[in-house]
Amino acid sequence: MLVMLVRSAQPLILTLLGGLIACGGCHALSPKVISPSQQYISPELVSEDNKAIEIGRPIKWLDKTGWVLGIPGKLTLWDRRIDNHSITEPTVETAAEYLQANNLPHLKIRMNQYAPIEDFRRLRKNKIVAWPYRYTMGLVSLSSEALLPGRFFGGDHFNPYTQTVHIYSDSSAIVLHELGHAKDFARRKYQGTYALGYAFFPLWHETIASREAMGYLYEHHNREGIIEANRLLYPAYGTYVGNGIASIAPGAALPIFYGSVLAGHINGRMLSRKIDEDLRRYHELFSSNPNCDTSSSSKQSEFAIRCLPKPSEYCK
């Protein structure tokens, strides 16, 4: 049976891999910073007199168990830091710097922390999301976090109903991706409806968040950060692409899923091989375009969007 599934999905997998090899790596997640715009955030969350970033108290047996349960994620993204439940200072600093640069005063970042009661209070205060969404989908998401705690099972994610980012992986790229979701939601007027779409059709939201993370790294010319993001965000993106394709071809779901993840791994590593060329090109786009004023830090995000090439222009 498994052989038949693999054979049925073989043309799709070969097409994906062949396309990547032919173009030498494609910037499907080309850097694109979310443009500064009006924010829709709850004043009640802004007025909270709490730390923006909170780190859970280490519990050795619990964190070790969580590390073991996170092995499937480690294998999928091929990185032992995924769901390792031990957040180091560089990752915390990345989150703090992003918050400072992007004006997200309402956001809470929980790093390896379990706090469902506090999150329920945040759910009640987040009145930007209409109450029918908060007390249906919001309660479902919060109940899932309480009954299947990430402190045990892992799973980095952003909860739009509580405006909370939950981090269990010691990776700056993962943190920036989840914070990209928060920034994306903050500019949406109808966040409940947008969150509903996220629950059923996540690929669009995941694309925006990953491109924001890439844009932030390119803006700061963070070479090592871009390499890490290429290595992690592309196979992670492959899981969503694979699930999307598999939903219309359930008979070949497994080979399609793992073929998409493999394609993401290959693509990300191919892109990292030409990182210096991409950074040089990015510099040239900034310096050569007369419409781009790099002297004003307040215009950096807007200017990055104008200057970046289309994704197709990255594919050589």
Domain count, the chain: 2
Summary mean pLDDT of the chain: 86
Residues 15, 79: one domain?
A: no
Higher pLDDT pick, 6 / 30: 30
Looking at the structure, tell me whether residues 114 and 163 fall in a common domain.
Answer: yes
Residue 120 shares a structural domain with residue 93: yes
* Alpha helix (H) residue ranges in 129-252: 131-133, 139-147, 150-153, 172-186, 191-200, 202-219, 223-246
Q: How far apart are CA 122 and CA 161, in angstroms?
A: 8
> Domain check: are 167 and 107 in the same one?
yes
The pLDDT score that the predictor gives to residue 295 is 36
pLDDT digits (tens, 9 = 90+) for 270-292: 999 999 998 888 877 765 554 55
Q: Is 245 inside a domain boundary?
A: yes
Q: Which domain holds residue 19?
A: 2-30+222-314
Higher pLDDT, 266 or 288: 266
Residue 217 included in any domain: no
Q: What percent of the chain has pLDDT over 90?
A: 71
Identify whether residues 101 and 9 lie together within a single domain: no
Q: What is the DSSP letter of 58?
A: P
In this predicted structure, what is the pLDDT of residue 8? 52
Do 136 and 68 have their domain in common?
A: yes
Residue 109 lies in a domain: yes
CB 119 within 8 A of CB 142: yes
pLDDT at 5 over 70: no
Per the domain annotation, does 8 fall within a domain? yes
The stretch 192-199 carries a mean pLDDT of 96
**Predicted pLDDT of residue 70:** 96
Q: What is the pLDDT of residues 63-105, one digit of tens each?
A: 999 999 999 999 999 999 999 999 999 999 999 999 999 999 9
